[in-house]
Amino acid sequence: MRAPRGTGIVLLALFAAAPHALAGQEDAATAGKVVYDRWCAECHGETGQGDGSAAASMLPRPRDFAQALYQIRTTGSGQIPTDADIRFAIENGLPGTTMPGWPNLTDQEIDDVIVYLKSFSRFFAQGPAPEPLDFGSDPGGGPAAIEAGAAAYLTMLCEECHGLSGRGDGTSAPTLEDWRGLPIRAADLTEAWVFNGGSSVEDMHTRMLTGLDGTPMPSAIDAMNSGVVSPDEVWQLAHYLASFGPREMPPLREVIRVGRAEGGLPADGGEEAWVGVEAFHFPLSGQVVQLPRNFSPTVDGLWVQGLHDGNDVALRVQWNDPSNSPDPNWDEWQNKITAALDLDGAEAIALDSAGAPSVRPPDAVFLQFPFEMPEGTDRPYFLMGDAREPVYLWTWDSETGVGAGRGRGLDSVEPLAEDPVAGEATWEEGRWTLYVRRPIEVESEGLDFVEGTPTPIAFQAWDGSSAEVGKRSSVSTWYYILLEPPASSTVVVTPLLAMLLTGAFGLVLVRRAQDRRRDR
């Protein structure tokens, strides 16, 4: 093991900052520095200011330990966290950010690194952290509690940032900044699996009482003390939030099953016609394969439903995007994102004399297929094909609508004007619903689906208001879509026949055995 550099300096700093520190603390800080330098420093920076070499591609930025502003605490708003709070963040990570949990560290290593983290800020030297808040006890969930929580959601003005449906699309959402002045999203409350501090009712209640220091998320304590809400109502609010969606990311299923529509295909993406149609969730990642990369994408997943009637296939795709781009209300956000992120070589969108962006890119989603049903496992390159083997695209963007195209790479799409694909998209309360429909087989260039045969499918998404254009997108690798074949009589006949034959054979065997016995 290499000797850690600068150990002496850190020790000196420790003495200066905390003259009463015990000798054991110094040893722990020294040991903690070894852990920190090995695993933490590249993001959080050598001096703990959240300015490591990788920080500029991250939003939110890594924690600045010198500020001692910790989001995930059990202590009151504006107070330093307990050691257990810091340990909670290290062990579990902060879902939805680039901070992972660290199961590779031993309990001792975590203890040591906590001592070292605290040495970055003078606030910890001024005494121990306050006791955790009294969180009271959960009066229980259920429909009545959820209804009361829904009222508290409005009383406490949650919808101003998080939106009426909780998708982070409130009217204030485009203006939100963290303590650094960097743009920050209001959490999408329908995606509990990316909550920074955990997704249980208790976790959410704790976050509401403590607030998320360094972000615009306030503590509910003031509202409780001034009688705006009761302690029970805050618990009920937590139960209401838990009703927004699943706690865990939906399990990945590789094949989208497109059932046969009884009584005609839906004519649009309206909810009524799609109730009960199985929905498949696909996580998306930033496009981090080709320059310029997107390390901080908006769209982190989408839902797909499908139906067909033997002639046409219709898909409904839904994804959360707090902005209906292009929208001038998000100009400031777009500018801040452009300024805050390392664009990895992408050209920043120029501003006009009034400081507004010269371009307001649209939102977009592409559905990608091979051009022909592939033989064997071969298929085009997942990033919109390449020069050798193109992909067949159903394209949609919020300016030009639905179309088809031939992709030969991320920045090479040629429209297919003859293609009969049609559809539309609507945006409501932070969610796009895209409806596309096309004949299963086409005379123009394009993929003919084959019922019962899994066809590769992949996805791309852009949020224009976050300056996502060109290669700065969200992507997936290949999955499958399968059009249910017509009901076949063999599914019923074969098992019946097998049962009859077996039964008859059994009868004959038994009869013969019994006859033989009698004969004897």
Partner 1 sequence: MKRYLSHPFWQGAIVVVASYVAFEYVIGYVLPVIGVASAPVPSSVIVEYMLIVLVGVLLYMSADEERWQRFREPIRETMVQPDRRTLRGILMVAFPVLIGWLAYERVKPSYAAPATLRAVHPAPPNQLTFRGETIELTGLENPLREEGSMEEHLAVGKRIYVRNCVPCHGDLLDGQGHYAQAFNPVPADFTSSGNLPQLTESYVFWRIVKGGPGLPREGTPWDSAMPAWETILEQDEIWATILYLYDQTGFPPRTWEEEGEGGHE
Where on the chain is the footprint of partner 1 (CB under 8 A)?
Answer: 2, 38-39, 42-43, 52-54, 57, 97-98, 100, 102-104, 249, 252, 254-255, 257, 282-286, 288-291, 295, 377-382, 386, 452, 454, 475-480, 482, 484-485, 488, 490-491, 494-500, 502-503, 506-507, 509-510, 513-514, 517
Residue 181 vs 485, nearer CB to partner 1? 485
Shortest separation between residue 20's beta carbon and partner 1, angstroms: 34
Cis peptide before 380 (omega within 30 of 0): no
302, 285 in Cβ contact below 8 A? no
Residue 239 vs 379, nearer CB to partner 1? 379
Shortest separation between residue 503's beta carbon and partner 1, angstroms: 4
Shortest separation between residue 473's beta carbon and partner 1, angstroms: 12
State the DSSP code for 424: E
Tokens of 343: 């664009």
Shortest separation between residue 502's beta carbon and partner 1, angstroms: 4
425, 408 in Cβ contact below 8 A? no
Pairing between strand 285-286 and 364-370? unpaired
Residue 100 vs 401, nearer CB to partner 1? 100
Shortest separation between residue 505's beta carbon and partner 1, angstroms: 9
Shortest separation between residue 303's beta carbon and partner 1, angstroms: 15
- Other C-beta atoms closer than 10 Å to the C-beta of 119 total 26
- Other C-beta atoms closer than 10 Å to the C-beta of 162 total 27
Residue 103 vs 355, nearer CB to partner 1? 103
Residue 426 vs 477, nearer CB to partner 1? 477
Cα end-to-end span (Å), the chain: 87
Residue 125 vs 257, nearer CB to partner 1? 257
Residue 40 vs 148, nearer CB to partner 1? 40
Residue 282 vs 366, nearer CB to partner 1? 282
Q: Which residue has the tokens 């209001």?
A: 186
Q: Which residue has the tokens 């059009």?
A: 483
CA–CA gap between residue 194 and residue 300 (Å, rounded): 10
Angle at 259 between CA 258 and CA 261, to 5 degrees: 125
Shortest separation between residue 293's beta carbon and partner 1, angstroms: 9
DSSP 3-state of 306:
strand
Residue 240: closest CA among 310, 170, 146, 177:
146
Residue 411 corresponds to which amino acid? Answer: D
Shortest separation between residue 154's beta carbon and partner 1, angstroms: 33
In sequence order, the 6+-apart residues with CB closer than 8 A to the CB of 196 are 71, 72, 94, 95, 96, 97, 187, 212
Residue 124 vs 282, nearer CB to partner 1? 282
Residue 133 corresponds to which amino acid? Answer: L
Q: Which residue has the tokens 């009712």?
A: 201
Residue 267 pairs in a beta bridge with none
Shortest separation between residue 144's beta carbon and partner 1, angstroms: 36
Tokens of 449: 């689906």
